[in-house]
Structure 1
Amino acid sequence: MKTIDLEVERRSTRGKNSARQTRAGGKIPAVVYGAGKPNVPITVDRKTLSDAFRNGAGENAIFLLKLAGSDQSRHAMIKEFQRDPLSRKTMHIDFVRVLMDAKIRVSVPIEAVGTAIGVKVHGGILDFVTRQVEIESLPGNIPAHLPIDVSALEIGDALRISQIPPIEGVEIVDDPDKVLVHVVHPTQEVEPVAAAEPAAEVTEPEVLKKGKAVEPEGEEKEK
């Protein structure tokens, strides 16, 4: 996986008012933690980060955080971020340090390749059962996705995790018997999704976590 350079600035002030001023200036409050090092409060330029994701940075992107005005840099991944429930703008980011020579576990999305015969010829439906698979690898070897060829699937056929083609440097640590996709008959009943209850007014930020985050010590999330 390609490493993305991202310039960051150190934050000298904390608190809600400071965080609001930071966001008003087009930057996102953030913190870097982990690897036995002290927490470092930083800011990230909102547009620069958005451009990185627009240009293909995936959910497991490895960033090389470069501290402005110094020669300090550190590899890190986004572990958690907060979004405003109304505007959907990112309000705060947690970066966790990663060592490029130490293996880590992450969840990687699967990607179906081809069109199943059961869909193309017999009108079946390709139903995704599992969309993320847990892997272990060095940070630089994390794939953006895991491709699975579904073109030979007839109605009633399924693909399991054990059938994912091997990728050099990547170990799949998920349940090998877990079903990824299967082709079902178009008249087969699909379990309905329960209708969502009317949502109460949301005032708290939405927190989106990726895996089991290491909790940053002493760093309060600014709202």
Structure 2
Amino acid sequence: MSDFTLNTTARTQTGRSASRRLRRANQIPAILYGKHSEPASLVIAAPEFRRLLKVMGGRAVLVELNQEGSSDKTLSYLQEVQRDPLTNNYLHIDFHEVKAGEKIDLQVPVTITGESAGVKNQNGVLEITTHELHVRCLPKDLPATISVDISALDVGEMIKVSELTAIDGVEFLDDEGQPVVICAEAVEEIVEEVVEEAAIDRKDEGEEAAPAAEADAEAEKK
């Protein structure tokens, strides 16, 4: 099934008041969706959910939900996590049930490996333009991350979706021409040159203005 498990209990009361009571008790209201079953309202202990997220480490993984009082185990993925923008506490969690023989569409994080030749040798600047990639695959083929090797990436070059290393059983759904990572030319020297030129221009303007000011002063004396 999955290396990641989470214990849940059935939620018998719904609505805002019931959800607030759960949060005050350090619990999180949740719901499990699925194509083959009705949505199920659940309750999850907040400390256990935090531990799960820590172990997941930002990777795309499947989570096995164990419901209290039942031997049923449901394979799912985290579809949405709502948090309070002020307190950062968890407000609600959406899970989506998956079946072993059915493909799923998920966002998978990008991880960068290696050191860009352009950054190392030409003082280039690395720009990661795509942090997650949309993939389609069977649950058993779900990659935790999409690894992108940038070792050969030089200044002025990019790695596009079409150039990613193929993964067995995984289909990339993003546009093939979409850039994932770019090695851009450093702009520091250009900025310094512009500032230096501006300073020279101001100096020249000052030197031109000085004789004119002196001429005006002489004219006033006469």
Q: If the length of structure 2 is used for normalisation, what is the TM-score?
A: 0.79
Task: Assess if the C-alpha contact under 8 Å between 1:2 and 1:140 holds in 2.
Answer: no
The letter for the 2-side match of 1:178 is Q
Secondary structure class of the residue paired with 1:22? helix
Q: Aligned residue for 1:103?
A: 103
Q: Aligned residue for 2:9?
A: 9
Q: Which has the higher contact order (CA 8 A, sep 6+)?
A: 1
Q: If the length of structure 1 is used for normalisation, what is the TM-score?
A: 0.79
The letter for the 2-side match of 1:36 is H
Q: Aligned residue for 1:90?
A: 90
Q: Distance in 1 between matches of 2:186 and 2:155?
A: 9
Q: Deviations over 1:187-207 (max 9, x none)?
A: 179xxxxxxxxxxxxxxxxxx
Is the alpha carbon distance of 1:114 and 1:2 closer, same or farther for their aligned partners in structure 2, counting shifts above 3 Å?
farther
Identity of aligned residues (%): 29
Structure showing greater radius of gyration is: 2
Q: Aligned residue for 2:215?
A: none
The Cα of 1:135 is off from its aligned counterpart by: 1.2
Secondary structure class of the residue paired with 1:154? coil
1:30 aligns with 2:30: yes
The Cα of 1:136 is off from its aligned counterpart by: 0.9
RMSD: 1.8
Secondary structure class of the residue paired with 1:86? coil
The Cα of 1:105 is off from its aligned counterpart by: 1.3
The letter for the 1-side match of 2:26 is G
Q: Distance in 1 between matches of 2:140 and 2:90?
A: 26
Q: Aligned residue for 1:157?
A: 157
Flag structure 2 segments of 5+ consecutive residues without an equivalent.
191-222
Which piece of structure 1 moves more, 171-180 or 40-49? Answer: 171-180
Q: Aligned residue for 2:78?
A: 78
Equivalent positions of 1:135-150 (< 5 A) are: 135-150=135-150
The letter for the 1-side match of 2:169 is G
The letter for the 2-side match of 1:43 is V
Q: Distance in 2 between matches of 1:40 and 1:74?
A: 11
Q: Distance in 2 between matches of 1:5 and 1:103?
A: 21
1:184 aligns with 2:184: yes
Report the count of equivalent residues.
189
Task: Assess if the C-alpha contact under 8 Å between 2:107 and 2:133 holds in 1.
Answer: yes
Q: Distance in 1 between matches of 2:2 and 2:65?
A: 14
Which structure has more helix as a fraction of its residues? 2
The Cα of 1:131 is off from its aligned counterpart by: 2.1
Secondary structure class of the residue paired with 1:55? helix
Q: Aligned residue for 1:166?
A: 166
